[in-house]
Amino acid sequence: MQISVVGAGYVGLTTAACLAEIGHQVLCADNDLGKLEKLNSGRLPFYEPHLDSLVQANVASGRLRFVSPAEAIEKGRAIFICVGTPPLENGEADLSAIESVARTIAATARGYRLVIEKSTVPVQTANRLWKHLSIYNASGLEFDVVSNPEFLREGSAVGDFFHPDRIVIGAESPRAVSMMKEIYGPVLTSPATCPVHSHCPPVHEIPLIVTDTNSAELVKHASNSFLAMKISFINLVADACEAAGADIAKVAEGIGSDQRIGQSFLNPGIGFGGFCFPKDLQAFVRIGERLGCDFSLLKEVEKINLRRAEQFVAKVKKELWVLRGKTLAVWGLAFKPDTDDVRFAPALNIATRLMAEGAHIRAYDPQAMQRAKDELPEVTYCLSPYEAAQNADAILILTEWAEFRHPDWANLAKAVAHRLVIDGRNLYSAHELAPHGFQYVCVGKPHVPQLPVATSAKELVVSQVPVASPLSAPTVSASMQPQP
C-alpha cells in the first residue's frame, strides 16, 4: 500500500522505516527541511538503536523516501500523522500541527484518504479531525479517520514495532478497519524477520483491539498515565523503605511477583522523564477537567515525580554539606538509557538545581551530550565517565546506561577527590563498592556509612600514579577506559 507518514520524529521515522521494512511503499515527510535534508543524505536526526540501518536498507530498496509534506499528502493513500503534540502552558496538548496537516489534506488531496492519527492526542480529537476535514474539503475528498495510538518506547522503538503488546485501532468504518489490518498484516500474522533479534522471542498472538476512535484515544493517555502512576507509586514506597530501613529491591520484588501487578515499571529512581509521560499525564489531567472528572490521583502522581529531583539534591547536600565549589561527576543525561533524548530528563533538572547551589558539574553520557549542551551549556562535558570523575567530590548516577555497570573502581578511587557514589538509578550495591572504599547512597535502601579510607595515603597514591594510566586498568569498555 502507498503509505505516507507526516512527522519524522522518534515516532514518525520509526513507524515509516518499519512499515517499509514489512513491505509497504512509504513516503516520510517533515516540515523541518533541515531534518529532511539530513535524512536524504542518510543521516538520522536522533539516536535510536537499529533505526539507522533500517532506514538505510529501506531507502536503498526504494521502499522508503523522504519528501515534503505536500508530496506525501498528495501521494499517500493512508496518511499517518506523527507530528509533535507538545504541551501548552496550561498542560493541554498543542494540536496546531495536527490541525495544519488536516488542513493541507482537505485542501490538496484527491480521491480517498485514510487519515491515521498516531501522535498522542486527547479523546475526541478524531471527531474534530473528521469535522475539520469535512469543513475544509475542497475537492470532494473521500476519507476515513482512524486513531492508532503508538506504544513504542525510545531506546527499543524498532523492537517494540515488531513485537507490540497490542495494536489498537479506533475506527468508525469497516473499510478503515480492513485497511489497517492490511497495513499491520505482516506484523499481526507472523512478524517478518525482525531487524533487532537474530532469533525473535517466541511470538504470541498479538492482540488487535478494534474499537471506536474515542476509546482508542483514551487507551493511550490512560496507559501512559497508569505506567507513570506505577513509577510514582514505587518511588513513594522507596521513600518509606529509606525511612523504615527496608530494601526497595526486595519490596518491589515482593509486590511485582503478584501477577496482577507485574515486575515491570517498578524501578525506583529520580523520577520519570521523556517527551511522553510528563506531558501525557498533564494532558490527561486537563482532559479530566474538560470532561468534569476528578483526576486528582494523577495530579499526585505528577507531584511525587516532581519531588524526586528535589529529594535527590537533598541527598547530595546531606552527604556533601555545602555544594558551593564542589565538583560533581554526573554519569548519564538522557531521560533513560539507549536514547539521546533529554526532553524532560530528570538528570538535567537535577544538574540545574545543583549548579544553582554553586556546584560545578562534569558530565558524561554516551549519546545525549550534544542535546544536553543545547540546554545546559555551562556544564563541563567529558569524553568518558573517568574524565568526568576527575577530582570529583561525588559521582552521581542519573541514567542507568549499561556501559556504567562495571566501572574500574580501583582506578576511579584514584581519580576522585572523595569516594562517594550517589546512585539515582540503583545501578550498584553497597557491598560492590565497599572493597574500594566508596560510600554508596542509593534509592529506597538505608544508607550504611563506610569507614572513610585514610585520605593522606590516598593523596600519596594519586600524586604518584599518572591519572588513569591504561596499563593498570583491567579491561573495561572503551568509554570506561581512564583517559590518558
How far is CA 341 from its chain centroid? 7
Binder to ligand UDX among 130, 136, 265, 409 (CB under 6 A)? 265
* In the complex, minimum distance from the CB of residue 464 to ligand UDX, in angstroms, rounded to a whole number: 40
* In the complex, minimum distance from the CB of residue 280 to ligand UDX, in angstroms, rounded to a whole number: 7
Give me the helices (H) in 417-483, please. 430-433, 455-464
Name which of 7 and 385 has its Cβ closer to ligand UDX.
7
Length of the chain: 484
Instruction: Say whether residue 305 binds ligand UDX (CB under 6 A).
Output: no
* In the complex, minimum distance from the CB of residue 392 to ligand UDX, in angstroms, rounded to a whole number: 23
- Span near ligand UDX by CB under 6 A; candidates 127-135, 144-152, 188-196, 371-379: 144-152
CA dihedral 278, 280, 281, 282 (to 10 degrees): 90
* In the complex, minimum distance from the CB of residue 267 to ligand UDX, in angstroms, rounded to a whole number: 3
Instruction: Say whether residue 71 binds ligand UDX (CB under 6 A).
Output: no
Instruction: Say whether residue 407 binds ligand UDX (CB under 6 A).
Output: no
* In the complex, minimum distance from the CB of residue 225 to ligand UDX, in angstroms, rounded to a whole number: 11
Burial of residue 379 (CB within 10 Å: 0-12, 13-18, 19+) is buried
Under a CB-based contact definition with an 8 Å cutoff, are residues 99 and 133 in contact? no
Instruction: Say whether residue 163 binds ligand UDX (CB under 6 A).
Output: no
From 276, 293, 382, 442, active-site residue: 276
x/- site string to ligand UDX, residues 331 to 360, per CB under 6 A? ----xx------------------------
For 136, which DSSP code? T
* In the complex, minimum distance from the CB of residue 99 to ligand UDX, in angstroms, rounded to a whole number: 9
Instruction: Say whether residue 84 binds ligand UDX (CB under 6 A).
Output: yes
- Which residue is listed with cell 562517594? 420
* In the complex, minimum distance from the CB of residue 62 to ligand UDX, in angstroms, rounded to a whole number: 23
Instruction: Say whether residue 266 binds ligand UDX (CB under 6 A).
Output: yes
Q: How far apart are CA 59 and CA 457, in angstroms?
A: 60
Under a CB-based contact definition with an 8 Å cutoff, are residues 270 and 424 in contact? yes
Instruction: Say whether residue 161 binds ligand UDX (CB under 6 A).
Output: no
SS3 of 318-335: the string is: HHHCCCCCCEEEEECCCC
Under a CB-based contact definition with an 8 Å cutoff, are residues 13 and 44 in contact? yes
Beta strands in 121-214 (DSSP E): 142-147, 167-170, 208-211
Instruction: Say whether residue 275 binds ligand UDX (CB under 6 A).
Output: yes
Q: How far apart are CA 109 and CA 74, in angstroms?
A: 5
HSE value, Cβ hemisphere, 13 Å, CA-based, for 167: 22
Instruction: Say whether residue 272 binds ligand UDX (CB under 6 A).
Output: yes
Beta strands in 129-193 (DSSP E): 142-147, 167-170
Q: How far apart are CA 398 and CA 270, in angstroms?
A: 7
Instruction: Say whether residue 153 binds ligand UDX (CB under 6 A).
Output: yes
Q: How far apart are CA 352 and CA 376, in angstroms?
A: 8
Q: Which of residues 175-234 bind ligand UDX (CB under 6 A)?
A: 224, 227, 231
Binder to ligand UDX among 130, 136, 151, 295 (CB under 6 A)? 151
Q: How far apart are CA 158 and CA 156, in angstroms?
A: 6
Q: Which of residues 101-120 bind ligand UDX (CB under 6 A)?
A: 119-120
| Cell numbers that stand for 401 in this block | 546506561
Name which of 256 and 446 has its Cβ closer to ligand UDX.
256
x/- site string to ligand UDX, residues 373 to 402, per CB under 6 A? ------------------------------
Instruction: Say whether residue 31 binds ligand UDX (CB under 6 A).
Output: yes
| # residues near ligand UDX by CB under 6 A | 39
Under a CB-based contact definition with an 8 Å cutoff, are residues 243 and 445 in contact? no
Under a CB-based contact definition with an 8 Å cutoff, are residues 436 and 407 in contact? no
Active site residue 28: no
Using CB under 6 A, list all residues that contact ligand UDX.
Answer: 6-12, 30-32, 35, 82-85, 97, 100, 119-120, 150-154, 224, 227, 231, 265-267, 269, 272-277, 335-336
The residues that are catalytic are 276
